[in-house]
Amino acid sequence: MRNLDIATLRSLQAVAEYGAVTRAAEALNMTQSALSMQVKRLEEVFDRPLLEKQGRGVMLTDFAHLLLTESRKLVAQNDAIIARFTGVQPDCRLRVGLTTDWPTLHFTQAVRRFREAHPNVEMVLTDGVSVDLRKQFERDELDVILTTEAACGPDGTTLMHIPLIWVGANAGMAWQQRPLRLTNGLWCAFLKLAITALDRAGIAWEHASGVGGCERNHMLTAADQGVNIVLKSFTREGLEEIEHGGTLPPLPPASLNMYLTRGKVSAMAGEFGGYLRRAVREEAEERAA
């Protein structure tokens, strides 16, 4: 029987979480060549390739994804044994922020799986708008943030693109009025995309009065006081996608982005990032089915 080296499994997990050998090596405080050597050792154990080049980064092979699922359990068990019998506890507080329109079902599944594998890790969840989450992340007040933006920042990773749609009140008429009243907040990245599309189409628009936070804006929309731009996955009672027959311009997709800290809990943040990638991948597979 051959024995698996926990360190090599951690290296594979880091590559999966960061999508690049260089960033994974930085997170593990090791050189790129050392990490590559550890992955090579794993490939020799199983006599199967684990990584494939993708653009400037790398991606895991199908076999590597299967291995990763089982290896997470082994690494978690290793850490639990060390903690129990040495008294050395890992960093156990992870601060996570996400926007209110992130697909919650698969996010909660990711949290549940992560906590089952890391029961000693305390997760502190907070919500907010993307622009505020980015500022908190830059101030090191959050370790992981999940945003919905028009594009992704240089220090983030896009996990999925989701179409944007126009929504209005059930059986509402506000979408037919001109100028078109928009109920998204001024801070909303989707508002800027909508304005650009409307200007190109030559459609007059104005910002609806009384706009505030997301909940208030959705209430205004449900009251037929204007239209809102949301992710296609977004659902709320009283709102429906507008069947405008081409009267309103098409909208570009939005990016679901993930930002991981490079601070003292970078390894734990990266580990959670792997669970998020899996959850988003399942979301994409369901959409394609």
Domain residue ranges of the chain, discontinuous segments joined by +: 1-88, 90-158+253-289, 164-251
Fold of 90-158+253-289: D-Maltodextrin-Binding Protein; domain 2 (3.40.190)
d(C-alpha 101, C-alpha 148), whole Å: 8
The dotted CATH code for 164-251 is: 3.40.190.10
As given in the structure block, the two tokens for residue 38 are: 């550890």
pLDDT tens sequence across 79-135: 778 777 877 665 568 999 998 777 777 788 888 888 888 877 888 888 888 988 999
- The whole-number pLDDT of residue 89 equals 62
H or E element, residue 258: strand 254-260
Confidence (pTM): 0.69
The yes-or-no answer to whether 1-88 and 164-251 have a common fold is no
pLDDT tens sequence across 212-257: 777 888 899 999 999 999 998 777 889 999 999 999 999 999 999 9
Whether the Cβ atoms of residue 170 and residue 193 lie closer than 8 Å to each other:
no
Fold of 1-88: Arc Repressor Mutant, subunit A (1.10.10)
- The whole-number pLDDT of residue 90 equals 58
